[in-house]
Amino acid sequence: DSGVTQTPKHLITATGQRVTLRCSPRSGDLSVYWYQQSLDQGLQFLIQYYNGEERAKGNILERFSAQQFPDLHSELNLSSLELGDSALYFCASSAPGTANTEAFFGQGTRLTVV
Amino acid sequence: GENVEQHPSTLSVQEGDSAVIKCTYSDSASNYFPWYKQELGKGPQLIIDIRSNVGEKKDQRIAVTLNKTAKHFSLHITETQPEDSAVYFCAAPGANNLFFGTGTRLTVIP
């Protein structure tokens, strides 16, 4: 168990809908990262938050947004969903805001858009 | 940003044999190189990492080597077991996040 909790584990929704994925980082970790993993693909960085503030953006679509709350949990919002958004979405956390340290991943949310 | 290349994409070995996965990176300033193991239906799990001040690190059957001059690092698994079957990812840090290789699917044949 990495200590990073993601909910829900599975999500099935229709095209055009909006969903929210939730992540609770390891206790004490200030950084939260969101990654997308499509079928047989690698891990694509979406966005990073550090202590409530957006720190970095990767290949995140404008239809997607995220935030980190005062208790450090984070939510990833996906709207106007398309079939191609079906993927595994992972959250990772690390203690500091830099990338050159251990990052721990949650079990992921499998999103299926039908 | 950092560019990480990983080879091979698939690897099959007989149980008990060794497996080697190689990665290259582009940013000479990178100083931290983790390896993750992802089993089916699970999230990536950090299995070993190395920092640029050492050339090799070992943890039981797993070792990682780093060549900063050539900008490549490798994962070595000895005495492979069926439970080593998984997808392995290397990574290198950018300014704010890790950049991952495309993964190696390792199959250990009993």
Please give the Cα distance from B101 to B8 (Å, whole number).
Answer: 11
CA distances (Å), origin B104, targets A104, B5, B67, B95: 19, 11, 20, 25
Contacts of B29 (CB under 8 A, 6+ apart): none
CB contact under 8 A, A42 and B100: yes
Residue in the block written with tokens 């070993």:
B48
| Among A42, A37, A56, A54, residue whose Cα is nearest residue A111 | A37
Closest CA in chain B for residue A4: B43
Please give, rounded to a whole number of angstroms, the shortest distance from the CA of B9 to a CA of chain A.
Answer: 11
Query: What does the angle CA B27 – CA B28 – CA B31 come to, to the nearest 5 degrees?
Result: 95
Helix (H) or strand (E) holding B58: strand B56-59
| C-alpha B71 chain-centroid distance | 14
| Mean model confidence pLDDT for chain B | 94
Helix (H) or strand (E) holding B13: strand B10-14
CB contact under 8 A, A105 and B43: yes
pLDDT recorded at residue B29:
86
Please give the Cα distance from B66 to B82 (Å, whole number).
Answer: 26
Enumerate residue ranges in chain B where pLDDT < 70. none
With an 8 Å Cβ cutoff, the interface of chain B facing chain A consists of 30-32, 34, 36, 42-46, 49, 51, 89, 93-103
| Mean model confidence pLDDT for chain A | 93
pLDDT recorded at residue B96:
83
CB contact under 8 A, A99 and B93: yes
Q: How confident is the model at residue A81 (pLDDT cuts 50, 70, 90)?
A: very high
- Which tokens hold the place of A112? 């299926």
Long-range contacts of B59-64 (CB under 8 A, 24+ apart): B62/B35, B64/B33, B64/B35
Please give the Cα distance from A106 to B93 (Å, whole number).
Answer: 19
pLDDT tens for residues A7-54?
Answer: 999 999 999 999 999 999 999 899 999 999 987 678 999 999 999 999
pLDDT recorded at residue A97:
66
Q: Decide: A85 and A114 in contact? Cβ < 8 Å.
A: no
* Candidates B34, B95, B102; nearest CB to A42: B102
Please give the Cα distance from A62 to A64 (Å, whole number).
Answer: 5
Mean pLDDT of A71-90: 97
* Candidates B43, B89, B93; nearest CB to A108: B43
Tally C-beta pairs within 8 A across A and B: 60
pLDDT recorded at residue A101:
77
Of the residues B21, B96, B100, the best mutation for testing chain A's interface (the one with the most A CB atoms within 10 Å of its CB) is B96
Residue in the block written with tokens 């990176």:
B25
pLDDT recorded at residue A40:
67
Q: Is B89 helix (H, G, I), strand (E, B) or coil?
A: strand
Please give the Cα distance from B24 to A82 (Å, whole number).
Answer: 34
